[in-house]
Amino acid sequence: MIIDEPVRGRVPPPWFWALPGIDRIRAFSNGLLPMPPLWRLQGIRPAHVGPGSGTWTMPATARTQGGNGVLEISAFVESALTGVATTALPPGMEVTPVTLTIYYFRPNRPQPGNLLARARVVNASSFFAFADVEIEDPQGRRIAQAGGQCVIRPVEPPPPPPPTELRPVEEPVYATPDPYLRPVTGNLPAEEVWEENDGYEVMRMFADGRYDTPFGELYGMRYVELTEDRIVATFPASEWFCRFSRLVSPGIVMALANGTAWAGGLCRLGRGVTFAGLDQSVRFYRSVASDGRQLRAESVLYAKGGNLYVSDAKVHDADGELVASQSGTGWYFDRSLRRTRAKAEAKRILATLLFTDIVDSTQHAERLGDAKWRALLETHRADVRKAIAHHEGVEIDTAGDGFFARFDSPGRALECARAVCASVKRLGIELRAGIHTGECETKGREVTGMAVHLAARIQAAAAPGEILVSGTVKDLAVGSALRFEDRGEHRLKGVHGEWRLYALAE
């Protein structure tokens, strides 16, 4: 199991709590503090924060996939909620979630790209902060909404003053990628297994070790008791689950309660029946030290009437103290009625397309070696994704060390390219970037058409460190403060005619 490995990342030093709340979160997104263990485990990142608002991202990989194929997002949602509440704090104060409810709108399944959590503080007083969070999948569809209360209180003991100047930190280099970047492990049952057996028989196969979930492998979660009316699961209070302190993140406790409650719902599936989670509401009673001892969650059937299923789950620490309680609601329906996802219809839109690529990447990889090159790429990808999210773009594809993103306006694409090119200077590398605005065809996340080929060819024609754009982009940027330098006529491979290109000036 991954959590048996030595922990990566570090919790912040004591002076962290003496910073204004918004500066605490910005210290992570600006690389002034090392990423905490939980974020290195799951790839959670703050993309952009302001006073009382912010966005967080997490890869939508199968790494947190549960037994029913849906991604477990409790830790992601709670990170966004607690993080945005933190932005409203003065120095020396902290927030702790006491209630959190998530409403689910559609099954959240693995796919390329990032989940996005848009969070805001709705109300804050001297004692409490209420925040809500909207969660989108990589296609921009809202998959869930959450809200919760956090209690505000002084940090004890009072923190020491922070340094007068914070400098970028050097993240450690490891021989293997962080857990969220590795190939997904786990052995989920095929669809036929669910069709040919009732839910209790399939869940017994999980308990007996015949099947395993990626979520269980990531968190170390195991079913230790399983009957048709009662589920008991455990996982260790690992240091991997720490964020801003050496306490287990409340989102991890919620994930244990949630995974146990949904297992109870799956146990009651009849043959040919499937299950959809509707909501989960949790209350947190006490903190849990990351001492490696086992947390224990128990789920029991609360009510079942017709298609509706309601369960209660309680989480206790290793001393038997109640840590959290949860109520979850689900709905049973005939598997044959489940609508297969309709193929996205193609449509033509006007979009600004950005391509980036690292200059001389092969030579850099040979010079640095595999481990250091992987670490550099991980940092670079995080920087690019943060810039794309900040400038309201959509990541379309990532191939090797290059990115392809779509924007609604040339200005946002240009500012994003400028931010990305600036971010790589501290890494000792340079980028080429190409931008073009034109009509393209979209089908789901896929973007195709001549405009895509043009943007890619423009990027290939750019000099090291240069942001090269088409004349269309230059013309659309008229009236902005941006300046361009004429780079003359170019013949672009695979594109008819000559194209006048321009470089974005410093």
Q: What is the pLDDT of residues 190-209, one digit of tens each?
A: 878 878 888 888 888 888 88
Strand-pair partners of 276: 331
The CA–CA distances, whole Å, from 434 to 305, 338, 377, 396, 454 equal 58, 43, 20, 15, 9
Does an H or E element contain 59, and which? strand 53-59
**CB atoms near residue 446 (< 10 Å):** 13
Taking every pair of C-alpha atoms in the chain, what is the biggest distance, in angstroms?
75
In a domain, 427, yes or no: yes
The answer to whether residue 14 is domain-embedded is yes
CATH number assigned to the domain comprising residue 358: 3.30.70.1230
What is the distance between the alpha carbons of residues 237 and 216, in angstroms, rounded to a whole number?
Answer: 14
User: According to the model, what pLDDT value does residue 157 have?
Assistant: 93
Q: Are residues 115 and 249 in the same domain?
A: yes
* 451 and 381 within one domain: yes
Amino acid at 20: P
Residue 201 in domain:
no
- How far apart are the C-alpha atoms of 384 and 222, rounded to whole Å? 36
Q: Are residues 142 and 11 in the same domain?
A: yes
Q: Are residues 316 and 403 in the same domain?
A: no
pLDDT digits (tens, 9 = 90+) for 229-273: 789 999 999 999 999 999 999 999 999 998 888 887 787 777 777
Same domain as 372, residue 264: no
For position 334, what pLDDT does the model report?
A: 76
Residues 31, 97, single domain; the answer is yes
Q: Do 427 and 379 contact (CB within 8 A), yes or no?
A: yes
Residue ranges in the chain modelled with pLDDT below 70: 1, 302-305, 335-346, 399-400, 444-445
205 assigned to some structural domain: no
Domain boundary among 310, 337, 364: 337
Q: Are residues 464 and 315 in the same domain?
A: no
Domain count along the chain? 2
Beta-bridge partner residues of 330: 277, 309
Contact 66, 72 (CB under 8 A): yes
Domain co-membership, 325 together with 398:
no
Per-residue 3-state assignment (H helix, E strand, C coil) for 332-374? EEEHHHCCCCCCCCCEEEEEEEEEEEECCHHHHHHHHCHHHHH
- Which tens digit of pLDDT belongs to each residue from 321-355? 999 999 988 888 876 666 555 555 667 888 899 99
Same domain, 10 and 57: yes
Asked whether residue 396 falls in the same domain as residue 455, the answer is: yes
Domain boundary among 283, 311, 337: 337
Considering the domain boundaries, does residue 167 fall inside one?
A: no
Same domain, 387 and 459: yes
Q: Does 196 map to a domain?
A: no
| Residue 283, phi-psi category: left (phi > 0), alpha (psi -120 to 50), beta (remainder) | beta
- Is residue 307 situated within a structural domain? yes
CATH of the domain at 227: 2.40.160.210
Phi first, then psi, for residue 500 (nearest 5°) are -85, 125
| Domain span holding position 131 | 2-159+220-337
- What is the rounded distance in angstroms from the CA atom of residue 504 to the CA atom of residue 482? 7
Residue at a domain's end among 275, 310, 337 = 337
H or E stretch covering 53: strand 53-59
For the chain, percent of residues with pLDDT exceeding 90: 43
- Does 179 reside within a domain? no
Does one domain contain both 355 and 225?
Answer: no
What's the distance, CA 88 to chain centroid?
22
Strand partners, 274: 333
